[in-house]
Amino acid sequence: MPQFSANLSLLFADLPFLDRFDAAARAGFQAVEFQFPYDFAVADIKARLNDTGLALVLHNLPAGDWAAGERGLACHPDRVAEFQHGVLKALEVAAVLGTPQLNVLAGLLPTGVAPADARRTLVANLRYAASLLGDNGIRLLMEPINTRDMPGFFVNRTEQALDILDEVGSANLLLQYDIYHAQRMEGELGATLAAHLSRIGHIQLADNPGRHEPGTGEINFHYLFRHLDDLGYRGHVGCEYRPRDAGPGGTLAGLGWVAAHGQRLSPDPAQTPR
Q: How confident is the model at residue 273 (pLDDT cuts 50, 70, 90)?
A: very low
CA distances to 31, 130, 265 from 2, rounded to whole Å, are 12, 27, 9
Residue 143 designated active-site: yes
Residue 167 designated active-site: no
Q: What are phi and psi of 33, to 5 degrees?
A: -145, 165
Kind plus residue range of the DSSP H or E element containing 140: strand 139-142
Range of the domain at 250: 3-59+95-100+131-260
Q: CATH number, domain at 249?
A: 3.20.20.150
Of 248, 152, 150, 233, the C-alpha closest to 189 is 233
Q: How far is CA 79 from the centre of its chain?
A: 23
Q: How far is the C-alpha of 201 from the C-alpha of 177, rounded, in Å?
A: 8
Q: Which of 143, 159, 188, 213 is catalytic?
A: 143
Vertex 150: Cα angle to 148 and 153 (nearest 5) = 110
Q: How far is the C-alpha of 60 from the C-alpha of 105, rounded, in Å?
A: 8
Alpha helix stretches (DSSP H) within the chain: 20-27, 42-52, 80-97, 115-135, 158-168, 179-185, 189-196, 221-231, 250-253, 256-260
In a domain, 85, yes or no: no
pLDDT, average across residues 228-253: 97
In a domain, 185, yes or no: yes
Digit-coded pLDDT (tens) for 131-176: 999 999 999 999 999 999 999 999 999 999 999 999 999 999 999 9
pLDDT surpassing 60 at residue 269 = no
Q: How confident is the model at residue 268 (pLDDT cuts 50, 70, 90)?
A: low
The pLDDT of residue 266 is 76
Q: How far is the C-alpha of 13 from the C-alpha of 242, rounded, in Å?
A: 9
In a domain, 66, yes or no: no
pLDDT, average across residues 65-88: 97
CB atoms within 10 A of CB 88: 11
pTM, to two decimals: 0.95
In a domain, 70, yes or no: no
Contact 33, 8 (CB under 8 A): yes
> What is the count of structural domains for the chain?
1
In a domain, 106, yes or no: no
In a domain, 22, yes or no: yes
In a domain, 109, yes or no: no
Number of helical (H) and strand (E) elements in the chain, helices listed first: 10, 9
In a domain, 110, yes or no: no
